[in-house]
A and B are shown apart, each in its own frame.
Chain A
Amino acid sequence: MKASPEGVLTGVHFMDGDHAACEGAIAAGCRFVAGYPITPSTEVVERFSVRIPTVGGMFIQMEDEIASSIAIQGAAWGGAKVMTVTSGPGLSLMMEHIGLAVMAEVPCVIVDVQRGGPSTGLPTLPAQADMMQVKWGSHGDYQIIALSPNSPQECFDLMIRAFNLSETWRCPVFMMMDEVVGHMVERVEIPPADQIEIVPRRWTTKKPSEYRAFEPGPDMVPDMAKAGDGYKLHITGLTHDERGYPAMNVPAQNRLVRRLSDKILKNRDKIVDVREDGCEDADIIVVSYGITSRVAGAAVEMARGLGLKVGSARMVVCWPFPDVEIARLSRKAKAIVVPELNLGQMVGEVERAACGDARVYLVDHAGGSVHEPERILETILQAARDAGLGFKTEAERS
């Protein structure tokens, strides 16, 4: 289905990532946002509150993030495409409702413009330290989807994908932006509405008498019915059966929780997105995501200039983790270098997938700014030395 032209600001813009993310959401058909001010994400909802009355949607500023994260779920069951926007401390408050969105299979997008933590941390400075929290922060076993844009253009593009994924797989989808991507101003090209592919809500085609709210289709995802349209809807955070009624027993728990995980993991090929560059014959591969991938790009160029065969692999989708792709790369390469704006989060996943086939190096950063490319280069060179690869340093070359 094509996007509705209403609200699509087709043309070339000069805007920051927060504003581009808002435009992406509107283009994707988002018509309800509940939010709460928090730096550095507030600009998304500020723009939405100005733009949305003109396209017939609604923005509500709630009393806190707890309320925001649940108001959107109510609106989703009412039929709207929904989003909330926050940063670290707000995300921490949302955790219980993220679990509920997983359990009740509510399509929703949660934007996290990451800043330094823990606690209040660095409100105005970047980090990538919520990567594990979005995956593991709520209690119980579950899978979510997380995307990681590295430019304002991608804040627009990936926002549309985020909505499409959440509608397809009926789970919360996270946009893992960070302060730099959110506040960086760049060229953003918004295509005409008829070039934007939109996944509509999975409305059931069954009659009310035949409809069962949590009966999975062939892709393990159930179809939805709109509250108020005559269908029997019983939505609960309790373990439930296919009708939606609470069923507190081992088989029901096993069936439901397994399906919630499997619908993501077994369909991972349709979700993951790893962008590889020069990895075919690379000895060293830099695996990165988000804003760090742009800094890593500079380091990779520098290393190639020294005669090393360095490839880069960028995880556009961080969750589900692209373990098959990383495993394949690690079998070919001698070393993997993982720069990230935290003290080591996704690197653990990379190590798990590499399974000892390639040595994994972390370039950590406590947050507050992006890496210096030289620091990443240093680790690439260290990896090259450890692997016995020959190269000439700048000093030797001149």
Chain B
Amino acid sequence: MMNIVENFDLFAPRLINKQELISSGHRACSGCAEVLAVRLMCKALGENTVIASATGCMEIISSMFPTTAWQVPWIHVAFENAAAVASGVEAGLKALRKKGKIDDRYVKVVGMAGDGGTMDIGFQALSGAMERGHDMIYVCFDNEAYMNTGIQRSSGTPMGASTTTAPAGKVSIGQKTWKKNMPEIMVAHGIPYVATACPSYPLDFIRKVEKAKSIQGPSYIHCFSMCPTGWRSPSHTAVSMGRLAVETGVFPLYEVENGHYRLSPDMPKKLKPVKSYFKPQGRFRHLTPDQIEMIQEKVTVEFGKLVEKAKFLKTGNE
């Protein structure tokens, strides 16, 4: 992988946009994988893009003057309505284009939010937008808790993680419920394209955003983005933790195009044990071997289901 990153230009010169549409100098924590993901997303989207962003880390770190980082039209709305605002922008652009009030170039509307803004408070707006079939991309940047307000649990927080509102201690193991399977919920909306992605696999991520961009209609990308601050692990581990999440099957990379599942080529044939992923993270440090075994079982079962779904597709995996 290191070679690929070093030879980025050589490797895929036609695919990667040289423009930085979210500039450096923003206020993200060191080792933030989420802003790296936003940067890669922007490269894939190009400048004919309007972004509606919910409240969250990415809003706070990228928008504050004088460190405003956005080079594309960007609107911050409230916490619960990124998808609704993106719907409105898309419908407005469509109407203006139809009346000939704006030029004919194609502009992609993108809604973005964190895991809380997508799976909890923004869920209703997202479900509505997907059902109405707006021509938009919605990207969830999932760092598995409300990091902007200080590491509170969300329905994206995985079983056993300690957060400030689901603290591990004598009585509790921390988060007591399984992470909400958001990509599956989006698949159930019957939208043309759903994908999971991770900035630790930049080319895979860029390809998926480009594919979503090329599709007329709603698409959903669930981007797993590690948060060193909230996960209580060193900031240099951001990329390696993302890779471990994928290699252990905790966060499998796949895409669903018109109902057809395909595992990404980056998925390993044999998964690593989840404990190798848990070990560097402070939020899982309290887990006993039994509890880790329970989580391992669930991961194995879930990954098995996914492999089953992807099995019958002719292209893709063997």
Q: How far is the CA of A37 from the CA of B76 in the complex (A)?
A: 19
In the complex, which residues of chain B have a beta carbon less than 8 angstroms from the beta carbon of A36? 120-121
Mark the stretch among B145-153, B188-196, B229-237 that contacts chain A.
Answer: B145-153
Known: A42-B150, A89-B79. A63 touches B165 (CB 8 A): no
Interface check A39, CB cutoff 8 A: yes
Q: Kindly identify which residue among B76, B123, B155, B165 contacts A46, using a CB–CB cutoff of 8 Å.
A: B165
A193 CB to closest chain B CB (Å) equals 22
In the complex, which residues of chain A have a beta carbon less than 8 angstroms from the beta carbon of B149? 37-39, 42
Q: Kindly identify which residue among B55, B152, B155, B171 contacts A54, using a CB–CB cutoff of 8 Å.
A: B171
A-B contact count (CB 8 A): 54
Known: A37-B149, A37-B152, A46-B164. A119 touches B169 (CB 8 A): no
Q: Kindly identify which residue among B80, B166, B170, B172 contacts A61, using a CB–CB cutoff of 8 Å.
A: B166
Interface check A50, CB cutoff 8 A: yes
Q: For window 57-90 of chain B, which residues contact chain A by CB distance below 8 Å?
A: 76, 78-80
In the complex, which residues of chain B have a beta carbon less than 8 angstroms from the beta carbon of A53? 169-172
B77 CB to closest chain A CB (Å) equals 9
- Specify the main secondary structure of chain B where it touches its partner: loop
Q: For window 158-175 of chain B, which residues contact chain A by CB distance below 8 Å?
A: 164-167, 169-172
- A46 with B152: CB separation less than 8 A: yes
Known: A37-B149, A63-B121. A45 touches B165 (CB 8 A): yes
Q: Kindly identify which residue among B78, B152, B155 contacts A63, using a CB–CB cutoff of 8 Å.
A: B155
Q: How far is the CA of A119 from the CA of B78 in the complex (A)?
A: 7
A87 CB to closest chain B CB (Å) equals 10
Residue from A50, A54, A61 with most neighbouring chain B CB atoms (10 Å): A61
Interface check A249, CB cutoff 8 A: no
Interface check A59, CB cutoff 8 A: yes
Closest to A119 in B: B78
- B167 with A61: CB separation less than 8 A: no
Interface check A64, CB cutoff 8 A: yes
- A64 with B120: CB separation less than 8 A: yes
In the complex, which residues of chain A have a beta carbon less than 8 angstroms from the beta carbon of B152? 37, 42, 45-46, 61
A64 CB to closest chain B CB (Å) equals 4
Closest to B116 in A: A37
In the complex, which residues of chain A have a beta carbon less than 8 angstroms from the beta carbon of B166? 49, 61
B-contact bits for A40-69, CB 8 A (1 contact / 0 none):
001001100110011000010101100000
**Which size class do A's interface residues fall under?**
20 to 34
- A120 with B121: CB separation less than 8 A: no
Q: How far is the CA of A42 from the CA of B163 in the complex (A)?
A: 13
Closest to B167 in A: A50
A-contact bits for B131-148, CB 8 A (1 contact / 0 none):
000000000000000100
B-contact bits for A92-104, CB 8 A (1 contact / 0 none):
0100000000000
A34 CB to closest chain B CB (Å) equals 11
In the complex, which residues of chain A have a beta carbon less than 8 angstroms from the beta carbon of B119? 63
A-contact bits for B117-132, CB 8 A (1 contact / 0 none):
0011101000000000
- A63 with B172: CB separation less than 8 A: no
Known: A37-B150, A42-B152, A89-B78. A61 touches B165 (CB 8 A): yes
In the complex, which residues of chain B have a beta carbon less than 8 angstroms from the beta carbon of A61? 152-153, 165-166
B130 CB to closest chain A CB (Å) equals 18
In the complex, which residues of chain B have a beta carbon less than 8 angstroms from the beta carbon of A49? 164-167
- B150 with A120: CB separation less than 8 A: no
- A37 with B165: CB separation less than 8 A: yes
In the complex, which residues of chain A have a beta carbon less than 8 angstroms from the beta carbon of B171? 53-54
- A59 with B165: CB separation less than 8 A: yes
Q: How far is the CA of A63 from the CA of B153 in the complex (A)?
A: 10
Q: How far is the CA of A59 from the CA of B171 in the complex (A)?
A: 13
Q: How far is the CA of A63 from the CA of B152 in the complex (A)?
A: 12
Q: How far is the CA of A54 from the CA of B171 in the complex (A)?
A: 8
B84 CB to closest chain A CB (Å) equals 14
Closest to A92 in B: B78
Closest to B55 in A: A120
Q: How far is the CA of A305 from the CA of B315 in the complex (A)?
A: 86
Q: How far is the CA of A50 from the CA of B79 in the complex (A)?
A: 26
B147 CB to closest chain A CB (Å) equals 10
Q: How far is the CA of A64 from the CA of B167 in the complex (A)?
A: 19
In the complex, which residues of chain B have a beta carbon less than 8 angstroms from the beta carbon of A46? 150, 152, 164-165
Closest to A36 in B: B121
Closest to A40 in B: B149
Closest to A50 in B: B167
In the complex, which residues of chain B have a beta carbon less than 8 angstroms from the beta carbon of A39? 149
Q: How far is the CA of A46 from the CA of B146 in the complex (A)?
A: 12
Q: How far is the CA of A38 from the CA of B116 in the complex (A)?
A: 12
Closest to A39 in B: B149
In the complex, which residues of chain A have a beta carbon less than 8 angstroms from the beta carbon of B78? 89, 119-120
> Which chain B residues have a beta carbon within 8 Å of chain A's beta carbons?
55, 76, 78-80, 116, 119-121, 123, 146, 149-150, 152-153, 155, 164-167, 169-172
Q: 15 A–B contact pairs at CB < 8 A?
A: A35-B165, A36-B120, A37-B146, A37-B149, A39-B149, A42-B152, A42-B164, A46-B164, A53-B170, A61-B165, A63-B123, A89-B78, A93-B80, A120-B76, A120-B78
The 8 A-B pairs of least Cβ separation, nearest first, read A64-B121, A63-B120, A53-B171, A37-B149, A37-B152, A46-B164, A49-B165, A37-B146
